[in-house]
């Protein structure tokens, strides 16, 4: 006999959580996130969760209140005697701080893992971590979902004639190689060198893109400067069309101008982070929902079933 599953949403993921609940077949749980005048947050569950399996949906993009709110929700659920607490983090913030790449810096993604565990999370469900090895920072189970499950059907319906995939940097080659293999397509690499964060000093294309329909795939678009520069360079090298599919639309700083003024045919993103109102006005920016994916992952976690069927990128397409 399974315990009852209850799904609650934090402030930053209410729209996605509502869609997940609709697909799961339940109503969102009742929770009140109180915010005091000094900025402190106090989540209050407005229904009993004693003995229940509780799923807390919250992406932890900036500001850091989103992370603090999730930690307090976990603590409140633990003190309310939930049987199991699952942190559902469509976007895992601080994932780019995954190692010491220079002296005297924090490893933010490890610290976040420690805090989630210390707060009382029994499991984490997330998507497209910037570095997959972040899963190893946890001593609790982590279900790491892959956006290729929604990207592959989208790419298939485009029916691009000379489909070629582009990795926006060397670090993304494994992800791109798997998707390119699924389509029996070629891949190229945009090798970039940064002067400092969010600023590219130089970029070169490794591979032939002449008359190719290029699809760039990445996990995060922050200022979208890399995407804009890569698209311009690919077109300059002879690409027929360039579009980008990105999981997490952080889209800060000059993102609006960078996307609007780019040569990209379209930028397709997931709804792991809600788009700011200004960004919703960009015609070439499209959103694909990951609600179905998370609803199935939550159901399978509740029923102790495998989530292996959610990973389709490794299956070869019949040609």
The reply to whether CATH 2.40.360.20 applies to domain 5-145+291-310 is no
| Active site amino acids | 192
- The answer to whether the 5-145+291-310 and 148-288 domains have the same CATH topology is yes
Q: How confident is residue 236, by pLDDT bands cut at 50, 70 and 90?
A: very high
Provide the percentage of residues in the chain whose pLDDT is more than 70.
Answer: 94
pLDDT over 70 at 318, yes or no: no
DSSP helix/strand/coil, 187: strand
- Note the pLDDT of residue 82: 98
CA distance 122 to 4: 16
Q: How confident is residue 198, by pLDDT bands cut at 50, 70 and 90?
A: low
Q: Which parts of 108-224 are beta strand (E)?
A: 123-127, 142-145, 163-167, 186-196, 199-206, 213-221
Q: Could you read off the pLDDT of 180-190 as tens digits, one per residue?
A: 999 999 999 98
Count each helix (H run) and each strand (E run) in the chain, helices first: 8, 14
Segments making up each domain of the chain, as ranges: 5-145+291-310, 148-288
**Minimum mean pLDDT range among 3-7, 167-171, 201-205:** 201-205
The reply to whether CATH 3.40.50.2020 applies to domain 148-288 is yes
Structural contact between residues 56 and 73, judged by C-beta atoms closer than 8 angstroms:
yes
Q: Could you read off the pLDDT of 131-156 as tens digits, one per residue?
A: 999 999 999 999 999 999 999 999 99
Q: Could you read off the pLDDT of 166-178 as tens digits, one per residue?
A: 998 887 888 889 8
């Amino acid at each position: 006999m399974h315990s009852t599953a209850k799904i609650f949403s934090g402030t930053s993921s209410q729209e996605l959580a509502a869609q997940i609940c609709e697909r799961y077949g339940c109503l969102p749980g009742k929770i009140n996130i109180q915010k005091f005048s000094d900025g402190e947050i106090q989540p209050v569950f407005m229904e009993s969760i004693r003995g229940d399996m509780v799923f807390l949906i919250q992406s932890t993009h900036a500001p850091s209140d989103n992370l603090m709110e999730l930690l307090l929700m976990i603590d409140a659920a633990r003190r309310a005697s939930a049987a199991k607490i699952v942190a559902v983090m469509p976007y895992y913030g601080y994932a780019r701080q995954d190692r010491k790449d220079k002296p005297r810096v924090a490893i933010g993604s490890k610290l976040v893992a420690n805090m989630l565990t210390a707060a009382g999370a029994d499991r984490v469900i997330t998507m497209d971590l910037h570095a997959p090895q972040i899963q190893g920072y946890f001593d609790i189970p982590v279900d790491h979902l892959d956006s290729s499950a929604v990207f592959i059907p989208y790419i298939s319906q485009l029916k691009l004639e000379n489909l070629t995939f582009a990795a926006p940097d060397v670090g993304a080659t494994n992800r791109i190689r798997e998707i390119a293999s699924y389509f029996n397509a070629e891949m190229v690499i945009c090798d970039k060198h940064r002067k400092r964060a969010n600023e590219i000093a130089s970029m070169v294309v490794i591979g032939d893109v002449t008359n190719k329909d290029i699809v760039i795939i990445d996990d995060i678009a922050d200022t979208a400067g890399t995407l804009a520069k890569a698209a311009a360079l690919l077109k300059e090298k002879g690409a027929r069309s360039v579009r980008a599919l990105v999981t997490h639309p952080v889209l800060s700083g000059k993102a609006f101008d960078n996307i609007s003024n780019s040569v990209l045919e379209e930028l397709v993103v997931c709804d792991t982070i809600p788009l700011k109102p200004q960004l919703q006005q960009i015609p070439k920016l499209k959103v694909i929902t990951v609600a179905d994916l998370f609803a199935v992952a939550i159901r399978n976690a509740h029923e102790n079933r495998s989530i292996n069927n959610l990973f389709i990128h490794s299956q070869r397409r019949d040609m």
